[in-house]
Amino acid sequence: MVGFLAHHIYHFVDTWWISRLPEKEAGVAAVTFLGNIIWFLFTFNQLVGPGSVAIISRRYGEKAYDFAEKAIKEAIVLKLFFGAIIGAGGYYFIGDMLPLIGAQGRVLKMGTQYGRILFLGMPLMYATYSIFTGMRGVANPQMALIMMLSSNVLNMILDPLLMFGYLGLPALGIRGAALGSVISYTITFTVGMFLFYSDFTNVKLHLKGKEGISIRSMWTMLKIGIPAWFGNLSFAGARMVITRMVAPFGTAVVAAYGVGTQVTAFGISVIIGIGLGLSALIGHNLGADKIKRARKIGNQAVLLGMGIMVAFGLISFAFSAQIIGLFFDNPETIARGSKMLKIFALGFPFLGVLLMLEEIHLGVGFNTPAMVVNIIHSWALEVVPIYFFTTYFGFSEIAIWWIISGAGLVTSSMFFIYYQRGRWLTYKV
């Protein structure tokens, strides 16, 4: 949780630095548009992630350490492969993708500059997450934490140096923010591989292990991840469509929406961080056939997720204007962003429950329920109502914020009823 919170603090700081550029709202809007595309393409990370979490933690819980080593190496290979494909595609087509979701003029130019550098580092960005997953899966969460903290601190140091040209470095503007991310991911991946191959982790990697990697077992890992990938693809695709529907309300609203999603993601990162540790813990217990203990852990996690997001929602509601004011000095942008953040805050507790339930199912490799919930949440309860209310009934962007907030209440209630049936406790991988 601390590691992922620090990771999002970096993104928050990154957005703040970008808002200090001469382009101000245009720069933040560019990152907002690009962020939706990156999020959409980064869902391919989910093809490998859920399967690797479930298999590594189960094998470790079964004390089948050679197979845990095999799963870690297979996850890294798959991430490098998919990262290279997505990175190449994104690099060449980013200039065509951004206009599709509403980016124009300076916003389009800045988004393209930022995106092309990020896509060059996509393979190592993908693979670095498997380093963290592997460490958590073999009960080295503190090591994963130190790695994530170090990576984010390095990122935060590099951002202003490369963006504004401090210490004699060239001032690269928005491109410097992207370059800082690529450099930090590269260093983190290299250090992580060194730790795994140098016997610093509970499961050591070898150039030639007792259990060799195979296409068949990698396909098993992918099959577990396909429903989660499709669900995340659906969710990310909906975010792109929603951003496109926000765009007609102007650059200031898009920029405020970008900050609002960053604030929301701040809370989400805490839940996902807990959820990833939770996934490994549940996997260890189910691997050791401790069903009652796994259920207890799941119930406590749901309550924890709701409690954290209640506290986060209260802070966001009370200080909405001050939070938006950290990024902008335009009174109109601050006022519209503040209203948006207050409405989002009302839905945070339900979002906490929804995300924790999703993490529980992903952690055991039972990904179809989360996929179905994601599709209903994103398209039936968000995109379709937003389209009709803004297009046919002429509502302002306020309707969009209420629809997004209310969708979490409906889907979290549905998912919790299903969770109580306990099918996730008997799912085998």
Predicted pLDDT of residue 58: 84
- The alpha carbon torsion through 227, 377, 336, 329 (nearest 10 deg) reads -20
- The alpha carbon torsion through 127, 130, 131, 135 (nearest 10 deg) reads 180
Kind and range of the H or E element at 246?
helix 215-246
Whether pLDDT at 341 is above 90:
yes
CA separation for the pair 40, 355 (Å, rounded): 18
Half-sphere exposure of 62 (CA within 13 A, CB side): 16
Report DSSP state, residue 364.
T
Tracing tokens 């993908």 back to the chain, one arrives at: 126
Whether pLDDT at 195 is above 80:
yes
Tracing tokens 């217990």 back to the chain, one arrives at: 285
Q: Are 10 and 275 in contact (CB under 8 A)?
A: no
In angstroms, the Cα distances linking 255 to 6, 64, 327 are 23, 49, 9
The structure tokens listed for 277 are: 């540790």
The number of helices, as runs of H, and strands, as runs of E, in the chain is: 16, 0
pLDDT by residue (tens digit) across 217-269?
A: 999 888 888 887 888 788 888 988 998 899 889 888 888 888 888 888 888 87
Predicted pLDDT of residue 128: 93
Predicted pLDDT of residue 234: 85
Predicted pLDDT of residue 28: 84
Q: Are 333 and 252 in contact (CB under 8 A)?
A: yes
Band (pLDDT 50/70/90 cuts) for residue 270 is confident
Q: Coil, strand or helix: which one is 199?
A: coil
Predicted pLDDT of residue 189: 96
Predicted pLDDT of residue 243: 87
CA separation for the pair 188, 211 (Å, rounded): 26
Band (pLDDT 50/70/90 cuts) for residue 40 is confident
pLDDT by residue (tens digit) across 342-353?
A: 999 999 999 999
CA separation for the pair 13, 136 (Å, rounded): 26
State which of 128-132, 255-259, 316-320 shows the largest mean pLDDT. Answer: 316-320
Whether pLDDT at 380 is above 90:
yes
CA separation for the pair 195, 192 (Å, rounded): 5
Predicted pLDDT of residue 95: 87
Domain count, the chain: 1
- C-alpha of 303 from chain center: 21
Predicted pLDDT of residue 311: 94
Predicted pLDDT of residue 354: 94
Average pLDDT over residues 88-103: 88
Percent of the chain with pLDDT over 90: 44
Q: Coil, strand or helix: which one is 393?
A: coil
Average pLDDT over residues 179-185: 92
**Domain housing 250:** 2-426
The structure tokens listed for 61 are: 């819980």
Predicted pLDDT of residue 267: 82
Predicted pLDDT of residue 196: 95
In angstroms, the Cα distances linking 353 to 139, 162, 374 are 25, 39, 14
Predicted pLDDT of residue 51: 83
Q: Are 408 and 350 in contact (CB under 8 A)?
A: yes
Whether pLDDT at 417 is above 80:
yes
Average pLDDT, the chain: 88
Predicted pLDDT of residue 42: 78
Q: Are 79 and 127 in contact (CB under 8 A)?
A: yes
Band (pLDDT 50/70/90 cuts) for residue 284 is confident
Average pLDDT over residues 318-343: 91
Residue 210 — φ and ψ, nearest 5°? -65, -30
Predicted pLDDT of residue 61: 85
Band (pLDDT 50/70/90 cuts) for residue 416 is very high
pLDDT by residue (tens digit) across 48-69?
A: 887 888 889 889 888 899 999 9
- Report, in angstroms and rounded to the nearest whole number, the Rg of the chain calculated over CA atoms: 21
